[in-house]
Amino acid sequence: MDRNNAINVLETIDRMRPPYVEWRVAQAKKLAAAHATTEREELRAMIDSFARTLGDVETSEAAAVVEGMELGRIAMPFWSELATAIRSAVMDDRHGRRTAERSEREKSPRYKCLHCQDSGAVKVYYPPFVEWVRPRFEAYQSSGFPLMWFEDSTAEWYSRLARSEVKGPAEISVACCCSGGNARMYQRQVDAMRETRGTAKPKRAAHVGVWNPDRQPLSTGLPEEELAKWYGGRAAYEWTPSEGEYDARFN
């Protein structure tokens, strides 16, 4: 707060509590007599001191404190302690807000992996579905997306899946590729499943594969944004995987 703003705050208080003006004038007379100066010089020095005390206080913060005094929420200080009281109230308020913000941050969950949120698994779009839905997605980008376009598209895909026309669901859960504890456990399960595939005692895994971010777009419930970003940097292509080719290509 600069000197002019400090004067504005002081004038607001003077109008709210006229005795402050009377005290300041009387004090200036005493100091002028003691220092062999003028009352005007002493009044200026008192205002300068008021401004320096509130130098690191924002005008809006001081105004809020003065309003609290006017409404009786904050006790009115003795005249000579006015600036210090305003600054102390502002510092207390800042401390309270910082404490509250810190508490909120501490309550918020902290994840090592923002993709799986340390669960160890993510949902991805099945790449053949991504290519199959691309023409209608791009058409809707030009004409406007119907309200249930994605739900209708996945329903059609699952009808094709039921008729064995396609080999996988539109969206599928896979182990995350991060180094978190749960992800590593799922990754080991996938490795064991692949190593024992075709043997007398094949092992099972909680997920069919491990997420490959370069080949499998992440699905978080925002298909328009996710697919637009995915298609934006990739050319369209036609691909019908043969048996086992999906695993070899995307896992």
Angle, CA of 25, 31 and 36, to the nearest 5°:
125
Residue 248 pLDDT level (bands cut at 50, 70, 90): low
At 218 the three-state DSSP class reads: strand
Per cent of the chain over pLDDT 90 is: 66
pLDDT surpasses 80 at 105: no
Please state, rounded to an integer, the average pLDDT across all residues of the chain.
89
Show the tokens assigned to 40: 């005007």
Same domain, yes or no, for 137 and 236? yes
Same domain, yes or no, for 85 and 204? no
CA 59 to chain centre: 28
Which one, of 59, 52, 41, lies nearest residue 84 by Cα? Answer: 52
Same domain, yes or no, for 146 and 186? yes
Instruction: Kindly give, in sequence order, each residue whose CB lies less than 8 Å from that of residue 230, ignoring residues fewer than 6 positions away.
Output: 125, 130, 217
pLDDT at 101: 83
Q: Is 82 exposed, middle or buried (0-12, 13-18, 19+ CB in 10 A)?
A: buried
Segments forming the whole domain that contains residue 103: 3-107
Same domain, yes or no, for 84 and 15? yes
Which of 72, 107, 142 is where one domain is finished? 107
CA 202 to chain centre: 44
Domain count, the chain: 2
Give the C-alpha separation, 16 to 67, whole Å: 10
Q: What value does the mean pLDDT take over residues 52-79?
A: 91
Same domain, yes or no, for 147 and 214? yes
Cβ atoms of 84 and 52 closer than 8 Å: no
Q: Which of 165-169, 190-194, 200-204, 241-245 has the lowest mean pLDDT?
A: 241-245
Residue 129 pLDDT level (bands cut at 50, 70, 90): very high
Same domain, yes or no, for 154 and 34? no
pTM of the model: 0.53
Same domain, yes or no, for 102 and 182? no
Give the C-alpha separation, 170 to 247, whole Å: 16
